[in-house]
Amino acid sequence: MSIRLRLTLWYVFLLAVILVTFSAALYAILSFSLLGEVDRALERRAGEVQNAAEAALQLQSDPRLFFLRGRLIIPAADVFATPGVCVQVFTAEGTLVSRSDNLGYVR
């Protein structure tokens, strides 16, 4: 094998290793960043729903305003939903209180 061929193969191998390493690092960084962004957006949205529910609970001085047939009335989940985010509100016991319309029909 000539020195020219050996050097060419060595540089091809080295370039392949560099490209694979760079691609893997770029994928890991982007994946971590984008997943973190989605998590923060969901936490922010959940905080908005929680704050609205807590505000409704704090204003119970006039129960006629916030209770209908014995159920707590909170803002509709559609207020907090966007095309990419579906919202469901459950009680601590696991009973569904409200859900956004963009979830579709669920049995």
103 — pLDDT class (breaks 50, 70, 90): confident
Whether residue 48 contacts residue 80, with contact meaning beta carbons closer than 8 Å, is answered with yes
pLDDT attached to residue 90: 75
The predicted model scores a pTM of 0.51
Strand, helix or coil at 33?
helix
pLDDT tens digit sequence for 15-63 = 999 999 999 999 999 999 999 998 998 888 788 777 776 776 666 555 4
* C-beta atoms surrounding 96 within 10 Å: 11
